[in-house]
Structure 1
Amino acid sequence: MELVALIGSGGHAKVVEQMVEQSFTKVKIVAKLDDRFTNKFFKRGVLYGPIEEVFKLIHYGVKMIVTIGDNRIRKKVVNRLALGEEHFTNLIHLKAVVADDLEVGKGTVIMPGAIINADVEIGSHCIINSGCIVEHDNRIGPFAHICPGAVMTGNVHVKEGVMLGANSTILPGLEVGSWSTVGAGSTVTRSMAGHITAVGSPALEVGT
């Protein structure tokens, strides 16, 4: 049985918690940590408390998942913890379709209905959300979020911190630069620089 602590208590944390309870028989959530819990308490056998409780839990072999949907805040928390990758784990839903040769960093969550095909690399602390499609030969940088229904066609590279909005599409062979955002329903037809937001079909830059 793998013991897991969730760091963060917002909407994404709720989804991950439900996913574990419904589908993972060998994973048990033993703690939910968030700095809004200023005092420790137990509820139904689960520890609630501030994030600093991590440093006690790791001595008992508890693994971490930072369940914060905002990419920048997720990275900020990971950097604050300054823990080695061995202290984080992955959660890959049994109803995700995942190629045998997938390479994935620690702290990444792959939701039900996601399809990940051959020769894909996914970085650490990513969210691969429900029903998205990650086609062959794609590369996803750390702290990215591929939102529900997004489609990455073949040979696409999205860099660190990218968010692909729900039902967006990236055409083959393109690159999306670090910390850029693709709006929901948009179609990216040419590579994007970093730190910009693009929306529409074709996607056009609307801000930084």
Structure 2
Amino acid sequence: MSKDIIIIGGEGNGGVIASAIIDMKNNYGYDYNLTGYLNDFEKVGTKLHEYPVLGGTKDIESFARKGYYFIWAVHMIGKGEKRRKLYYDLNIPEDRLISIIHPKSFVAFNVEIGKGVFVMANSYIGPGTKLGKGTLVMANCVVGHNDDIGELCHLSAGCNVSSYIKIGNASDIGLGAAVLEKRTIGDYSVVGANSLLTKDIGDREIYVGTPAKLHRKIDKYEQN
């Protein structure tokens, strides 16, 4: 059955997800139709990567009633708490969230995939791992076995997350970063680009460097 898909977001992650959907339809036979975007910062009819802005986030309910599917593409680095609040404020019907798993990725047979997950081409997800709803795994990522990754996380291109890792909700792993095995990362935290995380980190913390050290705490005022 054909699925008409709307991306919630815009350029950036939205464009990456759009390119995966188009590739899956054109080259792998998926019955997906990318129809456009919902975006609060662009005028209706504006083209983003050749696809129109169809409305704003206030229009989610009306498009859901018409049978459209959605995928979340909103990402603000270091503002995980804000994006998680926005996600729940929008009341996206979970039965209308579609997961996009590119066929050139490897996802083990027993990975638990939440609603609205995105996995880009050339990424590896090991056995026994859980991906929480709305989590985005970008190109060329390695996610080891028996990991527990929370909802609305963002794993940037080329990152390497080892095994028996627990990542809380709406946390970010930066470009090319590596997380050693059996580490825990709290909610709303960030591991900076090209960093090597060798220790557990708490909620709302930014770690950078090799080995990664606490750069600063994320204050709640930053979420406004």
TM-score computed with the length of structure 1 as normaliser: 0.92
Pairing of 1:42-81 with structure 2 (within 5 A): 48-70=54-76, 71-81=80-90
* Matched residue SS, 2:210: coil
Q: Does residue 45 of structure 2 align to residue 36 of structure 1? A: no
CA RMSD across the alignment: 1.8
TM-score computed with the length of structure 2 as normaliser: 0.86
Q: Does residue 10 of structure 2 align to residue 9 of structure 1? A: yes
Distance (whole Å) between structure 2 residues aligned to residue 207 and residue 134 of structure 1: 26
Number of corresponding residues: 207
**TM-superposed deviation, 1:9:** 1.1
Pairing of 1:114-133 with structure 2 (within 5 A): 114-133=123-142
2:145 alignment partner, one of 113, 136, 160: 136
Contact map agreement 2:4 2:68 (CA 8 A) in 1: yes
Contact map agreement 1:112 1:131 (CA 8 A) in 2: yes
Q: Residue type of the partner of 1:100? A: F
Contact map agreement 2:39 2:53 (CA 8 A) in 1: no
Q: Residue type of the partner of 2:110? A: D
**TM-superposed deviation, 1:33:** 0.9
Q: Residue type of the partner of 1:26? A: D
Unaligned runs of 5+ in 1: none
**TM-superposed deviation, 1:167:** 1.2
Distance (whole Å) between structure 1 residues aligned to residue 191 and residue 100 of structure 2: 25
Q: What is the match of residue 170 of structure 1?
A: 179
Q: What is the match of residue 119 of structure 2?
A: 110
Contact map agreement 2:64 2:93 (CA 8 A) in 1: no
**TM-superposed deviation, 1:83:** 3.0
**TM-superposed deviation, 1:73:** 4.8
Distance (whole Å) between structure 2 residues aligned to residue 188 and residue 197 of structure 1: 11
Contact map agreement 2:20 2:102 (CA 8 A) in 1: yes
Distance (whole Å) between structure 2 residues aligned to residue 20 and residue 171 of structure 1: 32
Q: 1:42 to 1:56 in 2, by over 3 A?
A: farther
Contact map agreement 2:60 2:92 (CA 8 A) in 1: no
**TM-superposed deviation, 1:35:** 1.3
Q: What is the match of residue 86 of structure 1?
A: 95
Q: Residue type of the partner of 1:2? A: K
Query: Identity rate of aligned residues, in percent?
Result: 22
**TM-superposed deviation, 1:206:** 1.0
